[in-house]
Amino acid sequence: MLRFLTQRLLIAIPTLLLVTLLVFMIVHLIPGDPAQILAGDMATPQAVAELRAQWGLDRPLPVQYLAYLKNLIAGDLGRSTATRNPVTREIGDRYPTTLALAASGIVVAAFLGLGAGVLAATKPFSRWDYGSMILALTGVSTPVFWSGLILILIFSVWLGWLPSGGTGSLRHMILPAFSLGLFDAGVIARQSRAGLLDVLGQDYIRTARAKGLAERMVVIRHAFKNAVIPVVTVIGMQFGRMLGGAVLVESVFSLPGIGRLLITAISQRDYPVIQGICLLLAASFVLINLAVDVAYGFLDPRIRQ
């Protein structure tokens, strides 16, 4: 397992290098001059040129990229052109919120999705099945922006139970987690229903039932573990997507996450912050994939061997 982990981590290095190169090229190729944007409408051409020189943006692109890489190896992601704060601080301030949001979102998604999937698969073609799948389809089809506003309307404005947004306590995370998790719950429900139905039709399940085991034990002990392997992949992918794609939820609930930071950075052509966030997201994806592979090992002993 250790060798496997080391190999995977080593493969991640060229992947991340490629990410830095691609992101660097993309952000520099899109039109827009960060110095002009940051200097503002009123800035004189001289002020813009000074800013450009100050940030090293007047140097050739390959020189800028190599300088970036050199600093990166030393653990320095540079400074935001918008705020002049170190990029590590900008991201460090925001990443915990995004992580908490994605983690709570994926818990909600997994809890609701697996619950609905198991219910639907164990009572196929019943009203439970149809009901669960209609809810799953609704979850997948509902824009998180809209579901977020509806949740605020119900639980903050009408009932007054939960805060409408912001941070401060666990209570602040409940509505965003549900808003974010509802979409993925739908995906997980459909995936787990299909997987479980497939497994429940296999011979060893018939054997287990023939031995007189209770249906609940058959499902939980024997079928679920096998059916859940592809679902774990989905959960891993969804978690990675949530880290970078929760910007709508972050906006609706006014959460200070990296999704919002990235959007602001793009609009300001804040190259160091854009590059820093993309690198972090790529690294997060690599780690999540690794975690998914490790989880496979626990779920399926054959993979461990």
Partner 1 sequence: MSRGMPSGLLPSRLAAGALIVLVLAGMVLPGSAPAGSAKDSLVVGLGTNIATPDNHKTTGLPGIGAVSQAGDFLVLMDAKSNVKPWLATSWESADGGKSLILTLRDNVKMHDGNILKAEDVRYSIERFRKLAIGRAALNMVTAVTVVDDRHVKITTQAPFPPLLRTLAYPGLSMYSKAAIEKYGDDEFRNHVAGPGPYRVTEFKAGDKMVMTAFDEYWAGKPAIKTVSFRMMPEMSARILALESGDVDLIDAISPQETDRLAKDSKLQIVNPPSAGFVRIYVNMQKGPLTDKRLRQAIAYAIDREAIVKNLFKGQAEVARSLAPPGVFGYTGDYDVYKYNPAKARELLKQAGVTNLKFTLLHSPGRFLLSTEVVETIKANLAAVGIDMTIQNMEWGAFSSATSTKLEDTKMDASLSWWRSINGDADSAIADFATKFFPPGNNTSFFSNAQYDKLYDQEQAETNQTRREQQLKEMQKILMEEMPAVPLYRQPNLWVAGAGLTNFEISPLSCLQPLHKASFK
Judged by the rule CB under 8 A, the positions of this chain that interact with partner 1 are 30-34, 36-45, 47-48, 51, 82-85, 90, 93-94, 97, 148-149, 152-153, 156-157, 160-167, 169-171, 174, 213-214, 216-217, 251-257, 260-261, 264, 266-269
Select 230 or 256, whichever has its Cβ closest to partner 1.
Answer: 256
What are 243's two structure tokens? 């880290």
Select 233 or 251, whichever has its Cβ closest to partner 1.
Answer: 251
Residue 194: CB minimum distance to partner 1, A: 26
Select 163 or 236, whichever has its Cβ closest to partner 1.
Answer: 163
The widest CA-to-CA distance across the chain, in whole angstroms, is: 85
Separation CA 116–CA 99 (nearest Å): 25
Residue 119: CB minimum distance to partner 1, A: 17
- For 163, the 3-state DSSP assignment is coil
Separation CA 103–CA 242 (nearest Å): 9
Q: Long-range contact list for 215-223, CB < 8 A, 24+ apart?
A: 215/122, 219/118, 219/122, 223/196, 223/199
Select 79 or 190, whichever has its Cβ closest to partner 1.
Answer: 79
Select 205 or 237, whichever has its Cβ closest to partner 1.
Answer: 205
Residue 250: CB minimum distance to partner 1, A: 8
Residue 278: CB minimum distance to partner 1, A: 17
Under DSSP, the state recorded for 165 is S
Select 14 or 40, whichever has its Cβ closest to partner 1.
Answer: 40
Alpha helix positions (H), the chain:
2-29, 34-39, 45-54, 61-73, 87-122, 127-141, 144-152, 171-200, 203-210, 215-217, 224-245, 247-252, 258-267, 271-299, 301-304
User: Exposure of 49 by Cβ count < 10 A (0-12 exposed, 13-18 middle, 19+ buried)?
Assistant: middle
Select 181 or 257, whichever has its Cβ closest to partner 1.
Answer: 257
HSE of 266, CA atoms in CB hemisphere, 13 A: 11
